[in-house]
Chain A
Amino acid sequence: MTAPAFEPVIIGFTCNWCSYRAADLAGTARIEYPPNVRLIRVMCSGRVDPAFVLKALADGADGVLIAGCHPGECHYLEQNYKALRRHRLLLRTLAQLGIEAERVRLAWASAAEGARFAEEVRDMVALLRALGPLRWPARPIPAAHAQATTPTQAAVTEVTT
């Protein structure tokens, strides 16, 4: 099999206490994953302003990974739930912009889960390779996405009701 020509670029927001440490652990344990992700450390996934995500996508990233502590394990008690809420709302906005839900992923990884972090990255890279480059905001909104037929739309509708 030949490798696909397109290599996506992902911006990863990782929290200081769990997911950044998971990425550190993946390194210490030499768990290989594709080099497509570039990490930014924030103190908490709750720090991630949805505007950061839009900025990253507008600047050329093909996807954004937001990784926090597992629900119930947040260093700041419950701020990862706020990240979860924002992510759900953000997906709704993205759908209206014609951006696939797979491009902005929320994941949990504890400081002990280097392997899990690597797996999330691998998985996301594979999905984005299949989706192709984003080229947003230049690209036209695909009709299919504008018409609320993506799985994201269904999921968001469920959440908001």
Chain B
Amino acid sequence: MVQEKVGVYVCHCGSNIAGVVDVGDVARFAAEELKDRGVALARDYTFMCSVSGQDMIERDIRELGLTRVVVAACSPHLHEATFRGACARAGLNPYLSEMASIREHVAWVHRDPQAATAKAKAIVAGTVARVLRNEPLQAIEVPIDARTLVVGGGIAGIQAALEVAEAGYDVHLIEREPSLGGHMAQFDKTFPTLDCAACILTPKMAAAGAHPKIHLHTWSEVEKVEGQVGDYTVHVRRKPRYVDADVCTGCGICVEKCPVVVVDDTFEAGIGYRKAIYWPFAQAVPNLPVLDPATCTYFVGGKGGCRACEKFCPTVPNSIRFDQHEEPLTLRVGNIILATGFDLFDARRVAQYGYGRLANVFTSLELERMCSAAGPTGGKVVLRDGHTTPRSVGIVHCVGSRDRNYNRHCSAICCMQSLKTAHLIKERTGAEVYDFYIDMRSPGKEYDEFYQRVLDDGVHFIRGKVAEISDVPLDPGEEDGRLYVQVEDTLAGLRRRIPVDMVVLSAALEPRRDSAEVGRIFGIACSTRGWFIEKHAKLDPVATMTEGVFVAGCAQGPKDIPASVAQGAAAAARVLNHIRQGVLSLEPVRAGVLAERCSGCRLCNGLCPFNAIRFDAEHGVSEINAALCQGCGTCVAACPAGAIQGSGFSDAQLYAQIDGLLADLRRQPAEAT
């Protein structure tokens, strides 16, 4: 047998590791005490991940003939690929290297240098023992299907879809609502430039709708996803529109003739109306009405309904199709971008602000619709009675954000949105505007300049968290019919009650209510609050831990439109990178059966959730389909005969690692008293 030569490299990471762990001592320990365990040399170095650090490893492999490499540094999730690359360049199989995490798991969580150094040594000893049992492996190569799935037709999803499609590849764009557009379509103006949201969004929606490479599936939801990067099978549920998309011309006569009028609590945020058959909004893409079976007389009442839409539909054959049902749709794609957006915080939850109880307390989204020229009030800012112009308006920041009772996070956009609202109200009504903020957050290009502009508009800024909004007059001079905003003005050091006619609550952005379930469907993780977790918070903000699934927009965390667009484009770039590579290398962590050891007990057969294990009745042995195996190793752990081998995480590696990790206890058996 070849004498193995292990090289151990202990990283200082500047002072990140060296500040707590005695890295020189760890290297000395490896060189001296692990000499008989195969360590040929051990070095410590300031930054192992630097070019010179990597060069050091490469040189040692070439010149000293190292056969295994251990790098004691940060988490393998950060730099495993770096050091594997260094080994590969020097001609060593990259899977003959291992990382020992002495930064995240030692230096950053322990303060006692002695205990931390002892633990670092144990980890290095365990990793050395393990790496000696590593086998040279070849990366698994998977072909990448060039088609892409984008889930969510808001601005982030539209941008992502357009980028991929423009590069010449097919995109399936799935949207849960009947039209593309997302939240941005509901907005009137966008900060800080005051561009009309519809004016900048509509061309993008139209481009996505008309693009020959974008296959639009609105009013549809993903039910199930199978497969892995390069080859996903996606099961989609298409909800019935009750309108034949192939025939309908979008003339709108059905909508005009429909006698049923209901409150539109989706697009118009509850302050406008729609018919039972309706357009989601004027610029909807696709330009098709949708029929709501919960309010249409054909479906409710049981008397066959008025069928006015059907009677007046001018197309031949008739576009109204009461017999439509949910339809399944199966798509094959190679990569997935999730841009599922956010939910707006329900302001009713903050009872003391009176939303839902006090008529003239509005949410920021209601105000957006009110400001929109295409909205229910034709762009007029009026009280709930529909005609009175407010003389004074209060705007409350951080409703449901930065509040331990609801969400601790900052929703990132509300300060700017509130400033925009203040400006629009001032412009349209000339009212006195009071803006109640905790901290003013305007870090963005031209954002603080916009704040200055609104200050110049004469808006009154009061720094303090609003305690209560009440319609009950308390102090002398207060009258009925107004709202009183109770607040501590923390700059003036005063308790104040400000009378206003209208209050606008800047509600928080929250994760989608079903984000945990959506995460499960796509095999990615959510934070405890429900935002999707990116692979790395700073360096890999659009990838996820699941290869081939990317995130963009507010589904990953609250952000404004420019950031959503940038993330959508970034996710698309990552997908295009996969597509252009054509074949992707995956971790060769797979299970396999040694047929000669398999007794055919079939214990493993029921353990695989991916149906990768089949029983070969003819030969009386179980076998594993490598294409379906995901490498979890559950069957390896279960096999009573040790017939299933797990590459990369073999029994031999893990036993050796346990042994190495605990070797110091054998050296000092008298320590425990």
Contacts and interface: CB of A to CB of B under 8 A. Distances in A.
| A, B from the same assembly | yes
Interface of B: 75-77, 101, 103-112, 115-116, 118-119, 122-123, 126, 516, 519-520, 523, 525-528, 533, 545-546, 589, 607, 609-610, 630-634, 636-638, 646, 648-649, 651, 654-655, 657-659, 661-662, 665-666, 672-673
- With most chain A CB atoms within 10 A of its CB, the pick from B77, B545, B672 is B672
B545 A52 contact: no
Contacts of B666: 59-60
A47 B545 contact: no
A48 interface: yes
Given A11-B661, A112-B525, A135-B672, 16 more contacts: A24-B75, A27-B105, A28-B108, A38-B123, A38-B126, A40-B658, A40-B661, A42-B633, A46-B607, A50-B637, A52-B658, A61-B665, A76-B610, A76-B632, A76-B634, A77-B609
A35 B655 CA distance: 22
Given A24-B77, A27-B103, A55-B655, A61 B673 contact: no
B658 A11 contact: yes
A42 B609 contact: no
A96 to B, nearest CB: 19
22 contacts: A23-B105, A27-B75, A27-B108, A28-B104, A35-B116, A35-B118, A38-B119, A39-B101, A40-B654, A42-B654, A43-B631, A44-B632, A59-B662, A60-B662, A73-B525, A76-B609, A82-B634, A86-B637, A110-B527, A110-B528, A112-B533, A135-B672
Interface in A1-54: 5-6, 9, 11, 17-18, 20-21, 23-24, 26-28, 30-35, 38-44, 46-50, 52
A48 B527 CA distance: 25
Interface in A45-97: 46-50, 52, 55-56, 59-61, 69, 72-73, 75-79, 82, 86
A77 B111 CA distance: 37
Contact of B658 (A21, A59, A69): A59
Contacts of B106: 35
Contacts of A28: 104, 108
A44 B655 CA distance: 16
Nearest to B655: A55
Interface of A: 5-6, 9, 11, 17-18, 20-21, 23-24, 26-28, 30-35, 38-44, 46-50, 52, 55-56, 59-61, 69, 72-73, 75-79, 82, 86, 110-113, 118, 133, 135
A76 B525 contact: no
B658 A47 contact: no
Contacts of A111: 525, 533, 545
B520 A47 contact: no
Contacts of A20: 75, 77
A24 B116 CA distance: 16
A82 B528 contact: no
Contact of A32 (B109, B525, B609, B655): B109
Contacts of A55: 655, 658-659
B673 A5 contact: yes
Contacts of B545: 17, 21, 75, 111
Contacts of B126: 38, 40
Contact of A35 (B110, B523, B589): B110
B72 to A, nearest CB: 13
Given A32-B109, A52-B654, A27 B637 contact: no
Given A23-B104, A56-B658, A56-B662, A38 B122 contact: yes
Contacts of A23: 104-105
Contacts of B662: 9, 11, 38, 56, 59-61
B657 A59 contact: no
A91 to B, nearest CB: 17
Nearest to B75: A24
Contacts of B637: 46-50, 86
Given A24-B104, A35-B112, A75 B523 contact: yes
A135 B665 CA distance: 11
A43 B104 contact: no
